[in-house]
């Protein structure tokens, strides 16, 4: 005979019934979920355009060779845009200490978000 022995089959059935009973008991003993309440309304964000301290102040100076635009927020210099009469404009951005300026051809910092085509119909 190649089948399972009767005593091992009885043990298997007993263990299965015991596990099923324990699972049913654990599910019935779970406490009911808490009573849910709605969240309070979220206030709208403050209107930045109406706050003169947060709006950048742009100062434009023209010379024979360049047009220089300075942007300041709360009196702190954020960037300078230099547009030469002949050539491409560039930006001067102050470093962390505000003592040196870093030249950039654009305000794009090079962060490229990956975008993959997943499905096409």
Domains of the chain: 55-104 (2.20.130.30)
Q: What is the pTM of this model?
A: 0.48
**Whole-angstrom Cα distance, residue 64 to residue 115?**
44
**Whole-angstrom Cα distance, residue 85 to residue 68?**
11
The pLDDT mean for the chain works out to 81
Q: What is the pLDDT of residue 118?
A: 83
**Whole-angstrom Cα distance, residue 72 to residue 79?**
7
Q: What is the pLDDT of residue 74?
A: 82
More confident residue, 37 or 19: 37
Please compute the mean of the pLDDT values over residues 12-28 and round it to a whole number: 73
Nearest residue to 60 via CA among 47, 52, 69, 51: 69
Cα 42 to its chain centre, rounded Å, is 20
pLDDT digits (tens, 9 = 90+) for 21-55: 776 666 666 677 788 889 899 888 776 566 666 67
Q: Are strands 76-84 and 101-104 parallel, antiparallel or unpaired?
A: unpaired
Q: Which two tokens stand for residue 12?
A: 């298997």
Please compute the mean of the pLDDT values over residues 15-20 and round it to a whole number: 78
């Amino acid at each position: 005979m190649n089948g399972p022995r009767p005593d091992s089959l009885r043990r298997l059935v007993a263990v299965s019934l015991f596990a099923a009973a324990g699972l049913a008991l654990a599910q019935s003993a779970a406490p009911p979920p808490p009573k849910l309440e709605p969240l309070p309304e979220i206030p709208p964000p403050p209107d930045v355009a109406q706050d003169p301290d947060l709006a950048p102040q742009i100062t434009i100076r023209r010379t024979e060779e360049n047009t220089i635009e300075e942007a300041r927020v709360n009196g702190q210099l954020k960037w300078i845009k230099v547009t030469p009469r002949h050539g491409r404009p560039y930006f001067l951005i102050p470093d962390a200490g505000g003592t040196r300026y870093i030249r950039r051809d654009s305000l794009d910092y090079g962060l490229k978000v990956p975008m993959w085509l997943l499905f096409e119909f």
